[in-house]
Amino acid sequence: MKKITALIMITIIILCSCSISGGEKKAVADFFSMDTYMSVTAYGDEAQSAVDAAKKRIEELDSLLNAEDKNSEIFRLNSDGKVVLGENSFELVTLALEYSSLTDGAFNPALHPLSELWGFIDKKYRVPDKKEITDALKLSDTENIIPNKKNKTVKLLKSGMEIDLGGIAKGYAAAEAARVMSGYNISGAIINLGGNVRTVGKKPDGSLWNVAIKNPVGDGYLANVKTTDKAVVTSGGYERYFEKNGRTYHHILNPDNGYPADSGLKSVTIISDNDTLADALSTALFVMGEKKAERFYKKSKLGFDFILLTDDDRLICSKGAADILSSDYEINVIE
């Protein structure tokens, strides 16, 4: 009798867990990679295999692209000044250079010496003096990065130059994770790589994914975005910073002066079909500030929407973003 009761109980528990996810199998992987916490969730018959494949692919990319990993291709490029890169690393360096040029240098993948100087790499934070900053800035000219498409080499023309793909690699990894997951039988997935979110398909109940954007101030949310099959990528000074003598210094640097970007923005979210573009632009628009970002958006044919939170707490969105978001803030729409 006891056995039968136990069996019934187990059956009920199994039925309950199925109904919670709309009758679909659910799998989640929470892990740390690319120096951030990541979470990949999928629904469907092959949810577990899809999530495992995504995690494997992200970790593979981290081991190629991480400038701090002594075995990575980017580490080798930075120490040798000229190397043959694998297909992924070469593609991403080339894309980083393309986005750097499209954003008029606001996105700059050659700021590693500067990030090091500020202590953002070894987490021994310090405020460098002007001379140190001027010297490190001399190593940040992207014209001195020479990719060769034919033999996949990249050459750094100045000794001491170092590439940092930290502003774009998570977007690229999110796209790759979605690509490998598409080979499995899943109905939907949400990939969150430390603020780089990619939504795939629909939720088990058939509705759109709800991406909550963190409010840089306090614990609440700035906005909720309803999407499917889009990247929703957020950059903000609040993600990594230190304080010294009452001032806050954060990790997104202005390539024009070598200091943390002080452009009047607290956070930038980019919504796009293209994860890698969204990642590069979230960093670039944060550097540009409100007015430049708006001008860039109006001129650009890149295909993206944006949500900006200014230092004086105004929420400014492109029309496409305003159409799919809800927020307690008053929304100022840019057409």
Beta partners for residue 233, in sequence order: 196, 270
From candidates 283, 289, 290, 306, binder to Mg ion by CB under 5 A: 283
Give the binding range for ligand AMP (CB under 6 A) out of 4-12, 155-163, 282-290, 292-300: 282-290
Taking residues 225 to 244 in sequence order and writing x for each that binds ligand AMP by CB under 6 A, - otherwise, the string is: ----------x---x-----
Query: How many CB atoms neighbour CB 223 within 10 A?
Result: 24
| Nearest-approach distance from CB 62 to ligand AMP, in angstroms | 14
* Three-state DSSP state, 191: strand
Give the count of residues interacting with ligand AMP (CB under 6 A).
18
Determine if 282 is a binding residue for ligand AMP (CB under 6 A): yes
Rg of the chain over Cα atoms, rounded to whole angstroms, equals 22
To Mg ion, the closest distance from the beta carbon of 312 in angstroms equals 23
Q: Which of 43, 75, 90, 107 binds ligand AMP (CB under 6 A)?
A: 107
253 binds, among Mg ion, ligand AMP, none (CB under 5 to 8 A by kind): ligand AMP
Please identify, using beta-carbon distances, which residue of 89 and 267 lies nearer to Mg ion.
267
Q: Which is nearer to ligand AMP, 188 or 258 (CB)?
A: 258
Quickly tell me which residue has 């994860």 as its tokens: 275
289 binds, among Mg ion, ligand AMP, none (CB under 5 to 8 A by kind): none
Which residue lies nearer to ligand AMP by CB, 42 or 211?
A: 211
Place of tokens 């500030």: 289
Question: Could you give the count of Cα atoms lying within 13 Å of 78 in the half-sphere of its Cβ?
Answer: 26
Part in contact with Mg ion (CB under 5 A); list of ranges 150-158, 186-194, 219-227, 276-284: 276-284
Binding-site member from 41, 267, 283, 318 for ligand AMP (CB under 6 A): 283
Binding partner selected for residue 199 from Mg ion, ligand AMP, none, CB under the kind-specific 5 to 8 Å limit: none
- The residue within the footprint of ligand AMP, chosen from 27, 197, 211, 253 (CB under 6 A), is 253
Q: Beta-carbon neighbour count of residue 104 at 10 Å?
A: 12
The residues pairing with 325 across neighbouring beta strands, listed in sequence order, are 225
- Separation of alpha carbons 268 and 287, rounded Å: 10
Site for Mg ion, residues 134 to 193, rule: CB under 5 A: 167
Angle between helices 87-102 and 169-181 (to 10 degrees): 130
Q: How far apart are the first and last CA of the chain?
A: 69
What CA dihedral angle connects 201, 202, 206 and 212, to 10 degrees? -160
Which residue bears the tokens 């109940």? 205
- Select from 33, 41, 78, 115 the one that contacts ligand AMP (CB under 6 A): 115
Query: Smallest distance, Å, CB 280 to Mg ion?
Result: 6
Question: Where is 70: in which H helix or E strand?
Answer: none
DSSP-assigned letters across all residues of 296-326:
HHHH--S--EEEEEETT--EEEEHHHHTTEE
Token pair 């109905």 is at which residue? 187
Applying CB under 6 A, which of residues 255, 276, 308, 322 lies at the interface with ligand AMP? 255
When asked if residue 287 is in the footprint of ligand AMP (CB under 6 A), the reply is yes
Binding partner of residue 162 among Mg ion, ligand AMP, none, CB cut-off 5 to 8 Å per kind: none
The DSSP secondary structure of 94-127, one letter per residue, reads HHHHHHHHHTTTSS-TT-HHHHHHTTTTTS----
Cα-flanking dihedrals φ and ψ of residue 315, to 5°?
Answer: -100, 120
Residues 141-200 touching ligand AMP, rule: CB under 6 A, are 164, 166-167
What is the contact surface with Mg ion in residues (CB under 5 A)? 167, 279, 282-283
What is the contact surface with ligand AMP in residues (CB under 6 A)? 107-109, 111, 115, 164, 166-167, 235, 239, 251-253, 255, 279, 282-283, 287
